[in-house]
DNA sequence: TTCATACAGTATAGAACATACACTAATATA
DNA sequence: TATATTAGTGTATGTTCTATACTGTATGAA
């Protein structure tokens, strides 16, 4: 099944054209004029537009204009606007943080926060990051580093992949949460609830405590009254540590019944 | 701060018009013709269109047509198309599962899976569910039930809310993952990697094991070669149990040092 | 009973957009 | 040199959201 080993292969599958271009695997040009464009320049221009004008500013015309080129040129390199958006997300990420001999737990904390921060730095990615399995060079490097951090744990490869994937989903989720307490839409008529407090008072106004007993109780207890340090984000660490604690527990379990990888080990079920 | 207590209030804030309409808090009509529309019918029509033709079929014209009405009518009830999309997501959810005396852990398992399944049943929600804090009656009921499941644990209200929110984010994440191994776009030029195997072989083809040592090792070990029971989803339970184990650990910690809620309790940090 | 006012839905039109298709010009191979 | 192949262009079409001005209707006040 998994025939691999690196660099040179027998040339296997068609490989979707976009993926090929993302990896620089294009057949060298044979005839015709010298290309003045390439996927990289196009992507960079599109990202620049998104950074400057937001996602709604990203139109084929706009991107083309920034390159001094006719809109239709872009379609030589990108099958559709949606493809362009996908590549933008892929290449808007920096490289992942370095491992530097940190413990798996420390590194994954850094990794997840960096992941979240990358999304927050370019919030236009949030609506278009489709959380598909990573396929580009950058996102795969992120995955690789997370796996590397877990390399010397007794987890199976599958468990490592699952753990990394889950953490990346958590980063995405947190970025969304922070990015906007917006209820309506993307930018225009954004019925924005600008603060946690405002969210709390709105809830208080709406909730009938008969229909929402537990939630009303939570609101009463002041959960949504602006805890002091939203800045140094306790909420982010809370969920992250849930996950890391879960991973730690799994590692501990694996370390005990080491020889017999039992698929359904006992789990605590405290009240 | 949190002035509340249910039903009758002193009438507080403007309350965003869309939110008001979602909760049926509109001033009763005084003059003019009888309305033939309302937000509910519009939303239902829009959902029907989305179910039938996918998200791209949802245009104002299309929705209006299904109601036998001119497109511009909708703007009496919805400030923009994006608002309509937001309301669609809100009201496409069923009510949450019943608690029925289950343990917090059992219930949250059911709850999270139901949440995921609701998203998978109407995958058009995935690109437009913005993971904002819930504000509609349905999504708040979901939150309420999760809090109820945790009611008799020693967690603080804030921790309960965080836990519920994180689980809901996990459900969303998993739904995205399952919904499509698509790399390109939404429907047209979808350079779809149709299976886990295909994903695996594509990775094998692309990866240089020098640049991606840990990931290449994972691929070599056959992680992406279609584990037997993707159907009865072990992957979903994996990440879910990470979270639930983390919650269990937190509960255990809280139960021990009960009197002194110490913000930074010790955590395990196994190698 | 009359009339002004407020409101529901409509008609029209405009601007922006993605993209299909046919084309021109440039380059490398035969 | 002739020919095939390719990069980028111009034009055009259909769709989309939505601003604005409008028509008719029901109500409350005079």
Same domain, A47 and A88: yes
Same domain, A78 and A114: no
pLDDT number for residue B13: 58
Same domain, A88 and A108: no
What are the chain A neighbours of B119 within 8 Å (beta carbons)? Answer: none
Same domain, B49 and B156: no
A235 domain-assigned: yes
The pLDDT tens digits for B75-112 are 999 999 999 999 999 999 999 999 999 999 999 999 99
| Contact residues, B window 33-72, toward A, CB-based 8 Å cutoff | none
| Contact residues, B window 194-253, toward A, CB-based 8 Å cutoff | 197-225, 227, 234-235, 238-239, 241-252
pLDDT number for residue B232: 53
* Measured distance CA(A143)–CA(A125) in Å, rounded: 18
B195 domain-assigned: no
Minimal Cβ distance to B16: which of A183, A208, A214: A183
Residue A181 CB coordination number (10 Å): 16
Same domain, A87 and A113: no
The pLDDT tens digits for A156-213 are 999 999 999 999 999 999 999 888 654 443 443 344 555 777 788 889 999 988 999 9
pLDDT number for residue B233: 82
B171: tokens are: 């459900």
Same domain, A169 and A114: yes
Asked if residue A191 lies in contact with residue B18, where contact means CB atoms within 8 angstroms, the answer is: yes
Print the domain residue range for A118.
104-179+230-256
B43 domain-assigned: yes
pLDDT number for residue B177: 87
- Give the 3-state DSSP-derived string for B185-213, with helices as H, strands as E and coil as C: CCCCCCCECCCHHHHHHHHHHHCCCCCCH
Residue A30 CB in 7 A reach of strand D:
yes
Same domain, A237 and A171: yes
Find the residue closest to C6 using CA and C1' atoms: B31
Residue A190 CB in 7 A reach of strand D:
no
Name the residue with higher pLDDT: A136 or A227: A136
The pLDDT tens digits for A49-99 are 999 999 999 999 999 999 999 999 999 999 999 999 999 999 999 999 999
Q: Do B244 and A247 touch (CB under 8 A)?
A: no
pLDDT number for residue A230: 55
pLDDT number for residue B185: 39
Q: Which of A32-41, A142-151, A175-184 has the lowest mean pLDDT?
A: A175-184
Region B140-159 average pLDDT: 97
Q: Which of A161-175, B55-69, B95-109, B192-206 has the lowest mean pLDDT?
A: B192-206
B219 domain-assigned: no
User: What pLDDT band is residue A268 in, cutting at 50, 70 and 90?
Assistant: very low
What are the chain A neighbours of B85 within 8 Å (beta carbons)? Answer: 185
B68 Ramachandran zone, left/alpha/beta (phi>0; psi -120 to 50):
left
Same domain, A142 and A251: yes
H-helix segments, B5-136: 17-22, 39-53, 60-67, 81-92, 104-121
User: What pLDDT band is residue B56 in, cutting at 50, 70 and 90?
Assistant: very high
HSE-CB of B89 using CA atoms within 13 angstroms: 28
Name the residue with higher pLDDT: A263 or B189: A263
For chain B, give the mean pLDDT.
84
Same domain, B57 and B173: no
Domain end among B69, B92, B115:
B92
Q: Do B133 and A176 touch (CB under 8 A)?
A: no
Residue B127: which residues within 8 A CB-CB, separation 6 or more? A127, A130, B55, B186
A214 domain-assigned: no
Residues of B 34-93 whose CB lies less than 7 Å from any atom of strand D = 34, 58-62, 71-72, 75, 80-82
Total beta-carbon pairs less than 8 A apart between chain A and chain B: 369
Same domain, B155 and B111: yes
- Overall number of domains in chain B: 2
Same domain, B75 and B111: no
């Amino acid at each position: 099944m998994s025939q691999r080993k690196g660099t040179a292969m027998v040339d296997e599958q068609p490989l979707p054209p976009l993926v090929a271009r993302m990896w620089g695997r294009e057949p060298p040009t044979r005839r015709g004029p010298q290309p003045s464009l390439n996927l990289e320049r196009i992507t960079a221009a599109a990202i620049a537009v998104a950074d400057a004008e937001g996602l709604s500013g990203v139109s084929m015309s706009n991107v083309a204009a920034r390159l001094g080129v006719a809109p239709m040129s872009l379609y030589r390199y990108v099958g559709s606007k949606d493809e362009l958006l996908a590549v933008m997300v892929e290449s808007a990420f920096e490289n992942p943080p370095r491992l530097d001999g940190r413990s798996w737990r420390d590194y994954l904390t850094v990794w997840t926060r960096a992941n979240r921060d990358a999304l927050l730095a370019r919030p236009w990615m949030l609506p278009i990051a489709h959380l598909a399995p990573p396929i580009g060079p950058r996102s795969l490097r992120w995955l690789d580093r997370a796996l590397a951090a877990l390399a010397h744990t007794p987890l199976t490869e599958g468990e490592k992949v699952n753990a990394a994937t889950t953490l990346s989903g958590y980063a995405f989720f947190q970025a969304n949460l922070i990015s906007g307490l917006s209820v309506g839409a993307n930018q225009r008529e954004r019925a924005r609830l600008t603060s946690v407090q405002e969210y709390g008072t709105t809830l208080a106004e709406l909730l009938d405590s008969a229909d929402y007993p537990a939630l009303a109780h939570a609101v009463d207890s002041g959960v949504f009254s602006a805890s002091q340090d939203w800045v140094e984000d306790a909420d982010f660490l809370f969920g992250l540590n849930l996950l890391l604690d879960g991973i730690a527990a799994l590692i501990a379990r694996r370390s005990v019944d080491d020889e017999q990888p039992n698929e359904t080990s006992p789990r605590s079920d405290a009240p």
